Structure formats: structure tokens, C-alpha cells
Amino acid sequence: MVTPKFNKNRSMKKSFVLASVLFFVMTNAQVVTEVQSASSVSRWTFGGGASLGFSGGSSGTGTTIGISPRVGYLLTQDFEMGLAGGFSWGNSKYYSSTMLNVGPFANYYISRNFFIGAMFQEYFFTQKDKYYDAKYSGDEAAVYLGAGYLQNVGNHLYIQIGAMYNVLYDKNKSVFGSGFVPNFGIVYGL
């Protein structure tokens, strides 16, 4: 029986070729995985805020609860349009109110750290003065312009802090005490 000669150079060449092929396959697999995961990222965004408040004093204790969901769509990486709404309920010894609002919004994001935005909201409300037994229902339109700051807190999750002003605000006609509105919420999907 003849024993084959061990050729060191030939073995090293085979190892080098095998290592090169494995490296090529692994890098291409990683590139394909990255491309697939990038294309599967949704352009939809979701978020909003919630509030809970308590008051006291001479008018008695009161409670307010509110939610403000929003859903948006990224038309470009930095420009989003969507629909925002809200519901709030308040009750105290002498007063109660219910408010529902809905309307479109648009945000432009600057480096994912800042944003400027515009929003239209139509408010529908019912108020009751329990002391005088008077009820009032109505609606009011608002156009908000504003800006704010975004803080990334995780994978596509941001805290949004800002302020807006209702350019339609009229202190003699509005049910709101001010045209200025601070906002704080979360946005997922940016």
C-alpha cells in the first residue's frame, strides 16, 4: 500500500480557499439579513399620551382623566402625517365635563431630536354646572402650530416634549383658558 505524500502548500491553499468561501457566504448572509430587516420596518407610527389629575379646595375635590392616541405615517424619513384624537372627562362637586376631539396632524423631524408640527382638532364637548343645574354643549375648532424635542429611549421609541399654540384662539369665545398647550407623549415607529 502506498501512502500519499502530505503536501503542506496544497493543504494550506485548500484551507485558505475554504475560509474565503465561508467568509464570503457569511458576509453575504449578513447583508441579506440587514436588507430584509430594513425593508420590513413599517412606516406607521403610533403613540399619544394620557393624563390623570386631582384637585381640591373650596370647590370640592375633582378628578380628570384623559387619553390622546395618535397614528401617523412616514411619507419620508423626516415627514409624518396622521390622525390624532382625544377624550377627556372631568368631575367635581360642582362641575362635570366630557370632551372628544379628532383631526389631522403633520410633523417634520430634524435629526430625530427636534420637530416642528401643525395640527387641526375639532373639539366636541358637554359641560354641566351642577350648582346652577345648567348644561352646555358645543364644538370648537383649533389649529395648533408648535415645536418640540424628541428623546430616543429604545428601539424606535421616543419621548416627545413640546408646546403648541392655537392660532384660532379667542379668549372671548373659547371654552379653553389659553391658546398655549404643552404636550408630552410617546411615539413608536420613528
pLDDT tens digits, one per residue of 141-156:
999 999 999 999 988 8
Quick check: 93 and 61 in contact, CB under 8 A?
A: yes
Helices (H) and strands (E) in the chain, counts: 1, 8
Q: What's residue 176's pLDDT? A: 86
Strands 62-74 and 95-110: unpaired
What's the confidence (pLDDT) of residue 58?
66
Look at residues 51, 129, 64, 109 and name the one whose alpha carbon lies nearest to residue 90. 64
Mean pLDDT, to the nearest integer, of 151-178? 92
Report domain extents, the chain: 1-40, 44-188
At 69-117, the pLDDT tens digits run: 999 999 999 999 999 999 999 998 888 999 999 999 999 999 889 999 9
| Spatial separation of the C-alpha atoms in residues 140 and 17, rounded to whole Å | 74
For residue 3, pLDDT beyond 50: no
Give the position of cell 429611549: 153
CB proximity list for 26: less than 8 A, separation 6 or greater: none
Q: If DSSP codes are grouped into helix, strand and coil, which group holds residue 130? A: coil
Looking at the DSSP bridge assignments, the partners of residue 104 are 83
Q: How far apart are CA 120 and CA 181, in angstroms?
A: 13
pLDDT above 60 for 48: yes
pLDDT band at residue 54 using 50, 70 and 90 as cut-offs: confident
Report the alpha-carbon distance of residue 161 to residue 152 in Å, rounded: 12
Please state, in angstroms and rounded to a whole number, the distance separating the CA atoms of residues 36 and 20: 24
Mean pLDDT, rounded, of the chain:
81
Specify whether the CB–CB gap between 188 and 157 falls below 8 A: yes
Would you identify the CATH topology of the domain 44-188? Answer: Porin (2.40.160)
In this prediction, what percent of the chain has a pLDDT beyond 90?
Answer: 59
**pLDDT (0 to 100) of residue 141:** 96
